[in-house]
Chain A
Amino acid sequence: MRDVTPTRAGWLVGLLLLLVMPLPASAQPEDLSAWVDLPPESLRGWKVEASAERIRVAHERPPTPREQVREVLVLLTVAQSSLNWILEGMLPVLRDGRVRVELTLHKLGTGRQEQERMLALADSGQFDLVVGLGSDATRFLYNRFGNQPTPVVALCKAPELWLGFEEGASRQAKPGNMAFVSLSLSPDVQLHYLQELLGPLKVLTVVYDRRNQSTVEVEAEAMRRLAARDGFQLLELAVDGKRSAEAMLSEQVPRMAHAMRLIDPEGRHSLFWVTTSSAVYDELERIDGLSEGIPVLGSVREAVREGSASAVMSIGVPFKSAGQLGARYVLEVLGSRLPASRLPMGVISPPDLAINLRRARQLDVKLPFHFLEQASSIYDLDGRLVRQDGQPAVAPPP
């Protein structure tokens, strides 16, 4: 048998990836109108015309002669629930804004031809502003549409980390026509909350999906940086997509927990940190069950659930709030003559907290009083949802 040289192996892996990568995209519905599903109260005051190619969201009220309509092109890459939450946050702000804005939603697509067509559309002069929703759209606009005359507002996870620029003195200059809104919480803020909950951290295991690029580049990388800075031990548990996650977590979580106990025998200053990879938080029950009493926390709201199979707490950003902030940025850019890049990166604060009191009590985690007041979702000592969206949760009929 001939040895497979590393170069040839690389080619083989690349070929395999080319075959595998389009799969998720092909799983996306072709019809754009199926991507967006908004509650009626968000659409109050708007008129929606949807087709397979585009969705047009315009004001119901016709414009007055003095009103100037500003056209905004919204580029989408993936059909997922977060897209709906972001739009749900954006539309009420745009409806009541001082500038009359009308939206046209288009799929960015993954094919070269499709992307060139979108680039031409953005550059056609029909639109006063382009909004990129999601990491792929942001990266595309950053690489292909940077420093163009049309301004851009891009919403994605921690753009500064993976697009390679910094606010202020930059490694790489931010394009003059682009403003960014982060869909993830600042890692420093997350760490602050974690330390307030558990005291000075001794060891933290970050669990992520190495196939989820933004999670690797944003969340795992941020934890590495913070661990180096604050001097706590960082362990990494990476799964390879959903399929292998179950087996890998079943094997690795107890080993990790054991290693953590060696560093922090009582486990009071340690935690498993579940990132936003669905491959990971879908296996939360497993992680929690095998964590040997070490609390599990996450950055995604879905990590906190009813009953005992739940993270103790999640510290994240509600997409709806990010949508609101994105809409404010759109209005700000359209309403001013200054370049979009003068706007600082939009970050949501304070974060959204969801707490499971049952898990907190089982693990003997004492909660700071203001967490309780700040939390938008709370599960009580019996694991039942008692607060949702900041309001007392309505109990389902028996």
Chain B
Amino acid sequence: MSAHFLRHGRGLRRARLGALLLVLAASLGGVVAVGLREAQRGYAHLQFERLAAQGAVIQGPVEMFLRVGVALEQFTGFHHLARALREADPTLEAVRVLDARGRILFSEPPGEQSALPLPRRVPSPPGQRFEVTEDARAFRVALPLSDRFGVVGRLELVMSRQAVDLRVLQRFQALFTLLGGCLVFQVAFVLGAQRLWMRRPRRWLGLAFSAGFGVMTLATSLALVDLYSDGLQQRTSSLAHSLARRLNEAARLGLTLSHLRGLDTLLEDYQRSNTDLGSLALIADERVLVQAGSGAGAPGHERFKYTIDLELTEGPWSLPVRLEVGAAKGALDDRLWRGCRGFLFLFVACGLLGLLVLRAFAPLPRRETRPRAFEHGAVDRLQPLAFLGAFLDGLPLAFLATSAEALHPGGGAALLFFAFHGASALAHLYSERSIRDLGPGRFLMGALLLSAAPLLLMAWTGDFRLWLLLRCLSGLGHGALAAGNRAYLLAVFHPQQPPAHGSRLALSRCGGLLGGTVLGALLAAHLGPRAAFLCGGLCALAALAYARLWLPPLDARDKSRGPGPFRASLSWLAPPPLPSSTGSPREHLPALLLVGLPSLLVRGGVLCFALPLWLSGQGEDADRIGQLLALHALGALLCHVLPPPRTARTRRLLQGGVLGMGVALLALGMAGALEPVFVLALGLWGLCHALIQACLKRPRSQGPGEGLARERGPPSITPVVGALGQCLGPLAVSALWHLPSEPLQVLGGLGAGVLLLGAAYFWLTRGLPGREARHA
């Protein structure tokens, strides 16, 4: 199949259909994949809690024994307790007691002599009383065993992974069938109803895509509800078992409820350590004996209520006693919302990608006959590359800082980001000559290859020095891709006609950043960072093929154009970040230094470095971190989606941007621990950041003389300042991060700094004549 065939006529149509179907299949499959992984993780977590509740049945007696001062190895009665647990739960492979040195003291089934630590630790929320490790075959839940002075050993419960996976797959089988049906419908619609959607592709394809996505999301959510409900029931049963054992101990001594008090405290303890339990009540003969929380009979907001008969077999407990547990509605809602957030971001990212594909594979009119339509189409075809550049930038955002700190504590993350953005800046500065020598097309291929290779290599190495080198190369690729993209755009345009589609490219970049951040985080959370790097590398390779086959032909441009104008136009493409008033270099510099530089410095330092580390420290998973960071990109996207403001108000917009950004950072610093504040502040920050950048990069209106003057003028220092900000941001913030007791306070300080510098800039430029008019 020749390139010519794919670029024109039927070949192009087929390629377009193929790409559309690929995006549809990927997005619908993505919903199921995300749901499946979420289910595996959420269900596994419920199983961990269940195992921990079961483990407490052994942990209690062992710790009571240890408190007396007897050595752990002298505990008798382990096998009796452990055997009873294993008989009641077939998924429990083994129960062991290990001393502080990791030697097995007791094991059920007996015979195991050593227990090698499992390679991966499952992240746990703060305050969790147990630790979970895993490998490809099993999960291991470890509860500490403490005497009066500290931890002297641990109790381990080993559960087969297969048990969790099988249960989840069982519940998801119907979903796979539905996915198949949905895909068939989508294919039939895309192939069979071309006449319908060709006229208004965005409406009809969007509708079909949304319907398919909605159905799959709904079905996946229902499957998750079913599964979580099942997991909660199992965990509740384990809690009941543990409670029954403790009550039986009292019953064995001949005590009844009338001899005891503090059972409400006991239930409250259960509730405290299982925060999603809304209420617990012990009920005998339809009478509530003891209760904690809103109570079994009270009108609450619980959605799920479980009743377990306590097997009180000892002593005077002749009444049948049952435990009623109300799982708070919020428990399931939280878990579901966690999955749905992923679906929502996936929907936005896939929708954007679908739109890009739809446009990119549209026929390209001839320049000679319809020059405006040609330019429009050329931008459409370059948009996927702009998307990809930002996608690759955002891909490791959620997890790279944490991974780097793990490899090189105390500055690894800041160094990696410094290397990446520094290399990107160098590529920006020195790409011009290479573009002239090689031509934009070949340069772009090289940039894509340079973007793909380091990501693929990062998937296979865990050495920090290599990571540093590869991030440098990645940064070079990133900068070169951006420069190449601009150069290519310029090359297909008429030399005297600067492209007027910058906002569409910016939109693609925001979409790419959002999609990359979310997808990278999802991949890292579910499959590990390696999968995210691989995905990035493969996407870059796919883009290489795309760039080779579908970029607008360069021979369409005016061949009389020489290297001089090209150079000048390249510097134009990194537009001077002048607000309306900064006509001369003397006024330009304060704008850059007082508004542009702080904005990028804060973005590089806080968004790339500080927030991922802080969120990770708060016990958030990589996917949650990605979703939160993506809010920044979402805010920026909103800025580009909204109708462009009137140019006469640029100064006001810039003021609004600085004010909004400062307020957002102050809010993060003061109340960032509150989730709604965090979410709103991050979105506002993204919006304001994009607004500031848009204002600073807004091209000045130009007459022919002005354009010529710029061609002859020195290249702009804007990209250098921008890259400097991104480079130095992580280093500066990492130096400040540990100074206050609460790291988020640093953000408040940065917010105050942004406001002060912004105020200084506006004060310095307050009296300039005709500042608004220059923007007109």
Contacts and interface: CB of A to CB of B under 8 A. Distances in A.
A352 B67 CA distance: 8
B149 interface: yes
Nearest to B100: A96
A357 B261 contact: no
Interface stretch (B247-255, B493-501, B592-600): B247-255
Interface stretch (A141-149, A209-217, A376-384): A376-384
B148 interface: yes
B260 interface: yes
Interface string B661-692: 00000000000000000000000000000000
Nearest to A323: B69
B148 A348 contact: yes
B254 A369 contact: no
A369 B246 CA distance: 9
Contacts of B246: 369, 373
B118 interface: no
Contacts of A376: 64, 67-68
A390 B70 contact: yes
A368 interface: yes
A373 B59 CA distance: 12
Nearest to B260: A369
Contacts of A380: 253-254
Interface in B713-735: none
Contacts of A324: 69, 147-149
A52 B71 CA distance: 31
Contacts of A323: 69
Given A349-B148, A378-B253, A380-B253, A320 B262 contact: no
A89 B66 CA distance: 12
A92 interface: yes
Interface stretch (A229-237, A245-253, A359-367): A359-367
A29 interface: no
Contacts of A348: 148
A242 interface: no
A318 B259 contact: no
Nearest to A347: B148
B64 A328 contact: no
Contact of A372 (B67, B68, B250, B258): B250
A320 B67 CA distance: 10
Contacts of A92: 71
Contact of B70 (A366, A369, A389): A389
* Residues of B in contact with A, size category: 20 to 34
Contacts of B260: 366-369, 372
Contacts of A390: 61, 64-68, 70
A330 to B, nearest CB: 13
Contact of A328 (B67, B149, B255, B265): B149
Given A325-B149, A370-B262, A370-B265, A391 B65 contact: yes
Contacts, number: 88
A144 to B, nearest CB: 30
Contacts of B250: 369, 372
Nearest to B247: A369
Interface string A326-368: 0010000000000000000000111010000100110000111
A391 B76 contact: yes
A367 B259 CA distance: 7
A374 B64 contact: yes
A292 B253 CA distance: 26
B60 interface: yes
A119 interface: no
A366 B256 CA distance: 11
A218 interface: no
A361 B148 contact: no
A386 interface: yes
B266 interface: yes
Contacts of A357: 253-255, 259
A270 interface: no
Interface in A112-140: none
A276 interface: no
Nearest to A349: B148
Contacts of A325: 148-149
Nearest to B150: A328
A77 interface: no
Given A373-B246, A376-B64, A386 B149 contact: no
Nearest to A196: B262
A181 B246 CA distance: 34
A360 B60 contact: no
A369 B265 contact: yes
Contacts of B147: 324
A325 to B, nearest CB: 6
Interface in B37-95: 60-61, 64-71, 76-77
Nearest to B70: A389
B263 interface: yes
A318 B68 contact: yes
* Max chain B C-beta neighbours (<10 A), residue from A325, A374, A376, A378: A376
A177 interface: no
A89 B76 contact: no
A321 interface: yes
21 contacts: A89-B69, A323-B69, A325-B148, A325-B149, A357-B259, A361-B259, A366-B259, A367-B255, A368-B262, A369-B246, A369-B250, A369-B265, A369-B266, A370-B265, A370-B266, A380-B254, A381-B255, A390-B65, A390-B66, A390-B70, A391-B65
